[in-house]
Amino acid sequence: MTLAFEPQPPVLAPVDDGKQFPVRRLFCVGRNYAAHAREMGRDPDREPPFFFSAWAETVVTGNSTIAYPQKTSNYHYEVELVVAIGKGGRNIPVETAMDHVYGYAVGLDMTRRDLQLEAREQGRPWDTGKNVEQSKPLGLIRKAGAGFDPTRGSIKLTVNDAVRQDADLADLIWPVADVIAYLSGLYRIEPGDLIYTGTPAGVGAVVPGDVMNASIDGLEPLAVTVGETLKD
């Protein structure tokens, strides 16, 4: 068999035990903190979680510089707890959902907000707003186990040292176990999947030269600089 061309190797995300986590797919939860749902003009009344997806290749690992994307003038940060899936399954009950978690990391769900809102208002898909090149920075994955509790703890983002998002994981409308249970009712989740669990209030725009520092208590912080727009 001859391949027409060499396939892209998988995106590898470093883990705190020295291993590399091969990224398979990204599932992102929309509006999972009440205050953020309100700032986006929506009622946070515990509607079931909803998901959008992004390509694995949108992930940029570790402290890095990401390109400011083309076709936007309103590129937003969203700090999020990211769940790395280590064990697949379908229709997983909430009670055993946490057995499927490999680890956790700090992530950013960068968004072309102007394109997302235009799509939303026209009833169109969010893809061009959300599934954007280099838009899903990911920090070091911490293996699940003793010492990190995904149900509480500070989640924070600064831009050029000014605090922009400051909340607690306890404010998640749908905690990690519920998100996994819902998602696995829509798709068979697989090892390598990443779930971006949603952002708290305070989202806003960045421009080239800005430095974002994202942190969650108990996880390795993530520093991301916004760079220039790619030309080729």
Nearer to Mn ion among residue 81 and residue 140 (C-beta): 81
From CA 83, how far away is CA 31, in angstroms rounded?
Answer: 16
DSSP for residue 17? T
Q: How far is the CB of 198 from Mn ion (least distance, A)?
A: 6
Point out which residues pair with 202 in neighbouring strands.
Answer: none
32 near Mn ion, rule: CB under 5 A: no
Could you give the CA distance from residue 105 to residue 222 in angstroms, rounded to a whole number? 9
Our finding on whether 184 is near Mn ion (CB under 5 A) is no
By Cβ distance, which residue is nearest to Mn ion?
Answer: 109
The pair phi, psi for residue 116, each rounded to 5°, is -65, -45
Q: According to the binding rule CB under 5 A, does residue 78 interact with Mn ion?
A: yes
Closest by CA to 226, choosing from 55, 81, 75, is: 75
| Amino acid of residue 202 | G
CB of 68 closer than 8 Å to CB of 75: yes
Dist. CA 10–CA 12, nearest whole Å: 6
Span near Mn ion by CB under 5 A; candidates 91-99, 131-139, 192-200, 201-209 = 192-200
- Cβ closest to Mn ion, residue 81 vs residue 97: 81
CB of 52 to Mn ion, least distance (A): 9
**Shortest CB 147 distance to Mn ion, Å:** 26
Using CB under 5 A, pick the residue from 199, 203, 214, 226 that binds Mn ion. Answer: 199
54 binds Mn ion (CB under 5 A): no
Residues within the interface to Mn ion (CB under 5 A): 78, 109, 199
